[in-house]
Amino acid sequence: KLIRQYKIDLYTRAYIEEIVKTTVDTVISAAELKTYYNENKENFKTDGTLVKLRYIHLPKDHPKYQTIRSKFFDYRKSDKKFWDTYGMQFKSFVLNDSVWVEMNQIYKKLPFITPDNRSEYISAGKSIEKKDSLDVYLVKVTNVLEKNQVGPFEYVKPTLQQVILNNRKLELIKKIEKEITDDAIKNKKYEIYN
């Protein structure tokens, strides 16, 4: 009897999940995201430090190094053609400094920055030119958000979407289960366990 009930429960759960998957509204408006974010900001604190920066890693003896350096620290979006031309010659680079990045990604991409010397390099507005025997790193930090601060909207947006979607799914499941229970009570097809 228990095995049969377990089987029924599994089928019921799978059926409800399939209904939810095909019925739930997955479109979330920008206004809804903003509203949810503003009402629940304290639930979206950062686990670690977030940084906005741009960087270039290139050979120290690059023939256009001085021009690249000059254009990097006096960065203009109008220089896109220049960066498209020389970008393929860099060992690695990120020029989009409007995206928040976690500190562990920075440690991987900029190995001269470590947890021990992080405060020396990571602060808003900091410009860095770091050379070693073969390479040079050019870095411009534009913004820093420390651990346990409210995460920026753009950074938490994917999480917001998932939370709103999960809330919709839970509401739909509760509604379906209530309808099933109400129907069972109406048709007197239910059991009360003591």
Please write the tens of the pLDDT for every residue from 143-174: 999 999 999 999 999 999 999 999 999 998 88
pLDDT at residue 180 tops 70: yes
* Residue 11: per-residue pLDDT: 86
* Residue 194: per-residue pLDDT: 46
Beta bridge partners of 94: 55
Encode pLDDT of 49-80 as tens digits: 999 999 999 999 999 999 999 999 999 989 99
Q: H or E segment at 6?
A: helix 2-23
Residue (of 139, 129, 130) closest to 101 by Cα position: 139
Q: Which residues of 85-109 are buried (b: 16+ CB within 10 A; e: fewer)?
A: ebeeebeebebebeebbebeebeeb
| Mean pLDDT across 26-39 | 94
- Tokens read off for 40: 């629940």
DSSP 8-state code for residue 98: T
**Structure pTM?**
0.75
Please report, as a single letter, which amino acid is at residue 60: K
Q: Identify whether the C-beta of residue 153 lies closer than 8 Å to the C-beta of residue 161.
A: no
